[in-house]
Amino acid sequence: MRVAVIGGGPGGYVAAIKAAMMGANVTLIEKKRVGGTCLNVGCIPTKALLACSELLMGIKEAKSYGINIDGEVNADFESMMNRKDKIVDQLVKGIEFLFDKKGVNLVNGFGKLIDKNKIEVSKEDGSKEIIEADKIILATGSVPIVPPIFPYDGKKVITSDEALYLNELPKSMVIVGGGVIGCEFGQFFRTLGTEVSIVEMADQVLPFEDKDIAKQLQRAFKKDKIKLLTGNKIQSFKIKGNVVVANLEGGKSVEADVMLVSVGRKPYLENLGIEELGIEVEKGKIVVNEKMETSIEGIYAIGDIVDSPFLAHVASKEGMIAVENILGKDKNINYTAIPRCVYTEPEVAGVGLTEKQAQEKCIDYKLGKFEFRGLGKAQAIGKFQGFIKVLADNKDRIIGASIVGPHATDLLSELTLAVHLGLTVEQVGDAIHPHPTLSEGLMEALHDVHDECVHSVGKAKAKA
């Protein structure tokens, strides 16, 4: 079986390796570097930079731990960027090494569908190559959205792509959009000394999370002296000398050296050949069935170009599902338990339904909640802001969870498994959790669903 994959991001490269491991003859076509947005201009480089700012914050707070640091502590922006680049380069080489060992043929160039079994690859030197395959997987990912109102130039008005390759630290920055990207970049640059303003149309940052979750992060931003302009929309703006001036609908204005536009991403489908082949597209996304197959038999699509969350781990899972179906298995994808993570300080993570979504769906649910400050481990490490929240339906099944606090993204896995398997509050809450750990907070929140939390005053007494 010959399988060709267009796009080498976390969906495409995982699909390629999986197919090769299952015995297929695999060719992956990538116009830039393998790893896609996630590895090159997304998840990994941003986390590498956030690790730097987190360490800097820790050093500045060292005195509260009984550690005195003599002399000044300064951030070397150039060195941070270089460190980030080295990490990305190492991981890219790691994928290429796996390709070599697993037998994946990597072709560099821009792939375009000619028919259901042929791909034309245009290379940098102007040459073209035709790749023939029995099955094709489209995994071309997404690009940042830049509304026409913003005169994007990649210098004064930038996206997350350019933010990761700035040559020097901006003195001030206005970020348009208080979602995951805006919040992570905002806190990173503010920690390094940049004056940061975040403009968000919704009445809170992280609009898709519950208000109590967003409130915790906004409290941290206020402490960091990040200027939050929620419930605001940019009406117009101009570049005045070396400064970008944004005028808001309410009459306010904000100015900065650089404007970072982070209002979302859109599927990358340009010149892919999908229109010529008649592949069904709805609202800018390729339509697929539960097997990840498009309207054209033998052509599959995964990741940001289909109607599923723009998340690397979702793309990877879709890639594996597509490959298994291509190679004879009967697999469906389950989107019930998709983890979502924000790597700010404090971290934010969630899975399944939020409380707001449960209410909108008129689902009868019970709630359990536990604050990190009640944990000995959280007090010991000096990170106790935030809480864990668990939702259960009327059959006691865990249908959602949200965490805001230390290591939230790591703690989420246990609850993700619970939602995925349809486990009950009693089943997971009965498990012995190690002490002292942050994971005890999961147990306490689960116990709180039935008002059985030992380390809490309880719902009834709390209301009294």
Question: For residue 444, what are the CA distances in angstroms to 70, 233, 322, 369, 425?
Answer: 41, 40, 39, 8, 11
Tell me the H-state helices in 361-400. 376-381
DSSP string, 401-427: EEEEETTHHHHHHHHHHHHHHT-BHHH
DSSP letter at 439? T
Q: Is 7 annotated as a binding residue?
A: no
Q: Is 140 annotated as a binding residue?
A: yes
Residue 459 pLDDT: 63
Q: pLDDT tens, 321-338?
A: 999 999 999 999 889 999
Is residue 238 helix, strand or coil?
strand
Q: Is 416 annotated as a binding residue?
A: no
Distance CA 127, CA 121 (A): 8
Give the residue among 341, 444, 428 at the shortest CA–CA distance from 387.
Answer: 444
Active site residue 435: yes
Q: Is 296 annotated as a binding residue?
A: no
Q: pLDDT tens, 202-215?
A: 999 999 999 999 99
Structure tokens at 171: 């003195």
pLDDT in tens, the chain (464 residues): 999 999 999 999 999 999 999 999 999 999 999 999 999 999 999 999 999 999 999 999 999 999 999 888 999 999 999 999 999 999 999 999 999 999 999 999 999 999 999 999 999 888 999 999 999 999 999 999 999 888 898 999 999 999 999 999 999 999 999 999 999 999 999 999 999 999 999 999 999 999 999 999 999 999 999 999 999 988 888 888 889 998 998 788 999 999 999 999 999 999 999 999 999 999 999 999 999 999 999 999 999 999 999 999 999 999 999 999 999 999 998 899 999 999 999 999 999 999 999 999 999 999 999 999 999 999 999 999 999 999 999 999 999 999 999 999 999 999 999 999 999 999 999 999 999 999 999 999 999 999 999 998 876 544 33
Is residue 367 helix, strand or coil?
strand
Find out whether 367 and 387 touch, Cβ atoms under 8 Å.
no
Distance CA 201, CA 213 (A): 18
Residue 461 pLDDT: 46
Strand partners, 108: 30
Find out whether 138 and 299 touch, Cβ atoms under 8 Å.
yes
Cα torsion through 318, 324, 325, 331, rounded to 10: -70
Give the residue among 42, 60, 79, 40 at the shortest CA–CA distance from 169.
Answer: 79
Give the residue among 351, 338, 337, 334 at the shortest CA–CA distance from 420.
Answer: 337
Residue 463 pLDDT: 39
What contacts 393, CB < 8 A, 6 or more positions away? 363, 364, 365, 366, 399
Find out whether 14 and 316 touch, Cβ atoms under 8 Å.
yes
Residue 364 pLDDT: 96
Active-site choice (313, 420, 433, 435): 435
Structure tokens at 448: 């709180």
Distance CA 202, CA 221 (A): 16
- Own/partner pairs, 311-318, CB within 8 angstroms, 24+ separation: 311/338, 311/340, 312/9, 312/10, 312/11, 312/38, 312/42, 312/43, 313/10, 313/338, 313/339, 314/338, 315/9, 315/10, 315/11, 315/12, 315/14, 315/139, 315/141, 316/10, 316/11, 316/14, 318/11, 318/292
Q: Going from the N-terminus, what domains does the chain have, and what CATH number goes with each?
A: 2-144+266-326 (3.50.50.60), 157-263 (3.50.50.60), 340-463 (3.30.390.30)
Q: Is 142 annotated as a binding residue?
A: yes
Q: Is 184 annotated as a binding residue?
A: yes
Structure tokens at 30: 């990538």
Q: What share of the chain is helix, strand, coil (3-state, %, to 5)?
A: 35, 25, 40
How many H helices and E strands in the chain?
A: 15, 25
Find out whether 133 and 149 touch, Cβ atoms under 8 Å.
no
Find out whether 178 and 205 touch, Cβ atoms under 8 Å.
yes
Give the residue among 272, 320, 313, 268 at the shortest CA–CA distance from 296.
Answer: 272
Radius of gyration of the chain (CA): 24
Question: For residue 437, what are the CA distances in angstroms to 85, 371, 376, 448?
Answer: 33, 13, 8, 18
Token pair 């697999």 in the structure block, residue: 331
Structure tokens at 216: 């915790």
Q: Is 405 annotated as a binding residue?
A: no
Element (H, E) at 255: strand 253-256
Q: Is 154 annotated as a binding residue?
A: no
